[in-house]
Structure 1
């Protein structure tokens, strides 16, 4: 006999944990924040454990809650899927698709290509979500995820592509240095990007690592404007502010339009991206068609390398 688990409280906890916010969970569940807090307290009383550490206006998961969040989310997903199938809406399930990628990959690489997929599959109800942190990515509820780290989630993980890191500048800035790439690397302003999460095995270089690899010494290697988003750093480079270490996936459109040009060789180590999807995809025609289209798109891309 199953223990009578308070499912409403479980849903409130999972939504608050996934969104890292009681108010966002309340919006998602169409209830008040007070109701969500009440349900969480009920679940804590039921389990006799603390689920959150509350600090001012912020909530953090306890280690025990964090360790079980993924399984709880997956269990709720299974219930939702079963209810859809029980209600005879399998056609809706086949035509629905949600995809997540980092904010920069979404805006700079995926979005310019989505028109092609949507023209091919006009019946698909498509949803795109973006994330800023690894924690946010791994707790988001989406059908597919594109990540540049080896995720340990319980799902199918497939290598998708590898990208290069290459110094780029605006054509005007390159012309200002007379097209002398060595002079650009030695004297031009260095634009830095502070990543919100660790890339795989530390493979992606920063300026000290890149310049050291090619034997260029600069006393000001850590100076220059810093950005916490690749998109704004790329905009700065296009405006001639300085040179950036561009990720080939993200600067593809800017290079194609001639807004950025390469000024040196790529860093010798590439970064790998992975495609995360559910183990079971039977009947999910939209999911499979998107995976097929994405792999086909990668194969025809000159700026990335197929794994």
Structure 2
């Protein structure tokens, strides 16, 4: 068990010893010289040791005090460093936000727009975590998740947006088939994204489902290149390898830059996305700022699309 020590008195002693002056120590500690002298007497009584000797107008450390004053100074420095570290840790915790999203959503949608949030909320440090599966997503520690399923976790959940599935390919491939939607869907090579088949919540169509629903008859629908990641499939489509069922959230930039072009109507069922927020962090300022920003961002995009 540690001995109960008078820390204020020790601080007064160390400051006086370091400054060789009661007056300077009092100025440093923002107290009166009388208070410093009182604290030093209190410490001497506690230790039953004399700490200073007065010589005319000067004070000098006793032999015992001189032998230990540097160790006391180092001890106070350690305490000060520990307090600063605790303050920094608490500050970091209050300004940090962890956001989880699938690898493809984070790469092709969130990160390209994230600089807008960091510019308007410079005090918030955002950590992005990515996942490939629902299990991985729900096992991650995160303040906010962007997901396309209804979670069974105990969290606040709210709709964010709806994603469309749109057949897209490179402009060159579309031109080879006369830029005609029906001809492209009947004859152009198809590329498949295995991970997206069925979707996280069953709403993503595969090519067989899409073509059947649009009344397109085609042999060998399962034939063609296959990919297990949407991003890889998008690069392949941009290179002219085939037509993919592109996810509107991921292909927006490629469409805008002309690397991909839509070749037919979107699928009639949209896939919803949700914001799942930790109850513990719901009222934290970083999370409130991010939720407000991202919902307004999505709403402005939706309004622009409708217009």
TM-score, normalised via structure 2 length: 0.68
Which ranges in structure 2 are unaligned for 5 or more consecutive residues? 1-85
Say whether the 8 Å CA contact 2:146–2:276 is kept in structure 1: yes
Of 264-273 and 88-97, more deviation after overlay is shown by 88-97
Matches within 5 A, 1:59-208: 90-195=90-195, 199=199, 201-208=201-208
Say whether the 8 Å CA contact 2:197–2:204 is kept in structure 1: no
Structure 2 residue aligned with 1:216: 216
Aligned length: 221
TM-aligned CA distance change 1:195 to 1:188, over 3 Å: same
SS where residue 98 of structure 2 aligns?
A: strand
SS where residue 275 of structure 2 aligns?
A: strand
TM-fit CA distance, 1:178? 1.4
Aligned equivalents of 2:197, 2:224: Cα separation in 1: 21
Q: CA RMSD in A?
A: 2.2
Structure 2 residue aligned with 1:256: 256
SS where residue 251 of structure 1 aligns?
A: helix
Say whether the 8 Å CA contact 1:189–1:224 is kept in structure 2: yes
TM-fit CA distance, 1:196? 7.0
Say whether the 8 Å CA contact 1:192–1:227 is kept in structure 2: yes
Say whether the 8 Å CA contact 1:200–1:271 is kept in structure 2: no
Of 195-204 and 157-166, more deviation after overlay is shown by 195-204
Say whether the 8 Å CA contact 1:147–1:274 is kept in structure 2: yes
TM-fit CA distance, 1:134? 0.8
Aligned equivalents of 1:283, 1:192: Cα separation in 2: 42
Aligned equivalents of 1:243, 1:250: Cα separation in 2: 15
Say whether the 8 Å CA contact 1:169–1:260 is kept in structure 2: yes
After superposition, what is the alpha-carbon deviation per residue over 1:152-188, rounded to whole angstroms, capped at 9, x for unaligned?
Answer: 0011111111011010111111111111111100001
TM-aligned CA distance change 1:130 to 1:285, over 3 Å: same
Say whether the 8 Å CA contact 1:159–1:273 is kept in structure 2: yes
Aligned equivalents of 2:244, 2:123: Cα separation in 1: 40
Greater fraction of residues in helix:
2
SS where residue 127 of structure 1 aligns?
A: strand
Aligned equivalents of 1:230, 1:201: Cα separation in 2: 16
Say whether the 8 Å CA contact 2:97–2:124 is kept in structure 1: yes
Structure 2 residue aligned with 1:45: none
TM-aligned CA distance change 1:172 to 1:271, over 3 Å: same
Say whether the 8 Å CA contact 1:162–1:304 is kept in structure 2: no
Say whether the 8 Å CA contact 1:132–1:196 is kept in structure 2: no
TM-fit CA distance, 1:264? 0.6
Aligned equivalents of 2:295, 2:129: Cα separation in 1: 20
Say whether the 8 Å CA contact 1:249–1:303 is kept in structure 2: no
TM-score, normalised via structure 1 length: 0.68
Aligned equivalents of 1:212, 1:274: Cα separation in 2: 29
* Rg (Cα) greater in structure: 2
TM-aligned CA distance change 1:303 to 1:231, over 3 Å: farther
